[in-house]
Structure 1
Amino acid sequence: MSGSHPGRIAARFADCRAQGRAALVGYLTGFDPDHERSLANLLAACEAGVDVLELGVPFSDPTADGPEIQAAMVRALAAGASLEGVLGLASRVRERFAELPIVLFSYANPLLRACDRDPAGARGFCARLRELGVDGLLVVDLPPEQASILRAPAIAAGLDWIGLCAPTSPPARLNKIVNDASGFVYAVSLTGVTGSALDADSEALRAQLEDLRGRTQLPIAVGFGVREPAQVQALAPQVDAVVVGSALVQAGRDGPSSLASRVADLRAATTG
């Protein structure tokens, strides 16, 4: 399915376009370092200017995440994190922020297990996500060839399916990813893991983003390795959104006020 649901994600991108800036997509790991402090950080980040919240489901075997987010997942799991617990956090954020888009960021395993446990299967689970206030799913390790097991019920429930496009994805694969996506397309800026060093002025990255722009009408978000306001400023004119994860997780370790300050600095750079 191509296009975007007329929901919170589409509305937020339209608002940002009207303001002449890129959206700031912020990732935080649920339950890092525990439930209460995670909730305080999530609310502080949203209050400080995150346009789209990527809420991470802790998983024991992450493959795309770098050291900072892996450590956050270890802390969260040690604090008793579960998918249900993270959905509880999403519900609390939704109570406070009625219009803020929430994307559930997960590996496939916890989601597929939850689908198996739901009496109504994947459709029932995805419908419940929507009821809790989740707007989209970003599943890191589910290839497009196998994604329909979750994508179809997610879209049927009114959730956006965020497509991940890597620098190494060949043209035919890129077309499949963007044609199956809704909400926005996530351009992975580099080969490697989250938090790696990124050259925001790279000609290769510029060409990758231009190529992607020619393949879809969906908003394009770029992430992996974006840490500093200067990088956000350099990337903002080329895309519809910039994704920051590891740097927010790191700032969150110093508490909500430190995290809010980092978010505010990054948000100020989204005008390019």
Structure 2
Amino acid sequence: MSGNVQLLSDTLAAAKAEDRAALIAYLPAGFPTVDGGIEAIKAVLDGGADIVEVGLPHSDPVLDGPVIQTADDIALRGGLKIADVLRTVREAHAATGKPVLVMTYWNPVDRYGVERFTAELAEAGGAGCILPDLPVEEAGVWREHATKHGLATVFVVAPSSRDARIARITEAGSGFVYAASLMGVTGTRESVGASAQDLVRRTRATTELPVCVGLGVSNATQAAEVAAFADGVIVGSAFVKRLLDAPDPASGIVAVRELAAELAAGVRKGRVSA
């Protein structure tokens, strides 16, 4: 069962060997529909993303900005179930062979059952989970089952995190560390800011895990900026916005594939420009 978390590690290591950051895309399951969401995720991976995070839409997405909240609402009103999220993981991974994680708040997993969720995610080919609202101190049961099923547990560090706190978080995590570039919710920003670079530096002082930066990256220029100092660049809202703005589903698929290609070029320029 450890093959998929190994695939995640190997993918990040391969990007490092090419002297570039990995491109990690985020899209919620079930948006604009379950089938449409699967096609969009496959398009992003085909377009150049190395890894994808499949969002598990939640009715109270405290860390998500208005763009992702809108997509989550569409998915939930469409009747999305966890089985649909797992199907999305399965089909995206099977079609592309690339690592697929789930990003979810803790409440849906807790209600579904930790053992059941981890077993089914591993069976679907999932590489792991990002749990932004699960404190490390309360993550023992999750980590036990995730380890049993060969799943990575990705925790989030923030600019406000003190060094000792970062060390505690990175010690408990696996796969990579998600460094939130700024305080606040997800969404595109004019600038990703110097706080992200300082956070990566402080995080790297505590761990050998790759450090990937998310929140605020929306174009190739910003991707290159972050790729100059991070192991991975995470982009979510910009992909969702392309789908929301598209006049029809087919145009949305083309738009997210094109954005993935632009961002993939951006992460490859980052180290050169640095």
The verdict on a shared fold, with TM-score over 0.5 as the criterion, is: yes
Aligned-residue CA RMSD (Å): 1.5
1:141-190 deviation line (CA, Å, top 9, x unaligned)? 11111112212211221100001001111222111100001100000000
1:114 is matched with which residue: 105, 112, 117?
A: 112
Residue 262 of structure 2 corresponds to which residue in structure 1? 265
2:101 is matched with which residue: 100, 103, 127?
A: 103
Which residue identity is paired with 1:236? A
Q: Does the alignment pair 1:150 with 2:142?
A: yes
Deviation, 1:206, is 2.0
Q: Distance in 1 between matches of 2:188 and 2:233?
A: 15
Residue 119 of structure 1 corresponds to which residue in structure 2? none
Residue 215 of structure 2 corresponds to which residue in structure 1? 224
Which residue identity is paired with 1:101? P
Residue 118 of structure 1 corresponds to which residue in structure 2? none
Which residue identity is paired with 2:234? V
Deviation, 1:198, is 5.3
Report if aligned partners of 1:103, 1:136 keep a CA contact under 8 Å in 2.
yes
Deviation, 1:6, is 6.1
Q: Does the alignment pair 1:192 with 2:189?
A: no
Number of equivalent positions? 261
Report if aligned partners of 2:187, 2:237 keep a CA contact under 8 Å in 1.
yes
What is the 5 A alignment of 1:1-272?
A: 7-98=6-97, 100-115=98-113, 122-197=114-189, 199-200=191-192, 202-253=193-244, 254=246, 255-271=252-268, 272=270
More helix as a share of residues: 2
Report if aligned partners of 1:123, 1:156 keep a CA contact under 8 Å in 2.
no
Deviation, 1:128, is 2.1
Which residue identity is paired with 2:161? S
Q: Aligned with 2:25: secondary structure?
A: strand
Identity of aligned residues (%): 34
Report if aligned partners of 1:123, 1:153 keep a CA contact under 8 Å in 2.
yes
Q: Aligned with 1:26: secondary structure?
A: strand
Which residue identity is paired with 1:209? V
Where in structure 2 are there 5+ consecutive unaligned residues? 247-251
Report if aligned partners of 1:56, 1:106 keep a CA contact under 8 Å in 2.
yes
Q: Distance in 2 between matches of 1:152 and 1:225?
A: 32
Deviation, 1:5, is 8.4
> Residues 6, 33 of structure 1: CA spacing in aligned structure 2 closer, same or farther, 3 A cutoff?
closer
1:130-149 deviation line (CA, Å, top 9, x unaligned)? 11100011012111111122
Report if aligned partners of 2:32, 2:71 keep a CA contact under 8 Å in 1.
yes
Where in structure 1 are there 5+ consecutive unaligned residues? 116-121
Q: Distance in 2 between matches of 1:129 and 1:195?
A: 27
Q: Aligned with 2:130: secondary structure?
A: strand
> Residues 211, 237 of structure 1: CA spacing in aligned structure 2 closer, same or farther, 3 A cutoff?
same
Q: Distance in 2 between matches of 1:188 and 1:203?
A: 12
Q: Distance in 1 between matches of 2:161 and 2:6?
A: 29
Deviation, 1:93, is 1.2
Deviation, 1:204, is 3.0
Tell me the TM-score normalized by structure 2: 0.91
Q: Aligned with 2:137: secondary structure?
A: coil
Q: Distance in 1 between matches of 2:195 and 2:101?
A: 28
Deviation, 1:203, is 3.2
Report if aligned partners of 2:128, 2:152 keep a CA contact under 8 Å in 1.
yes
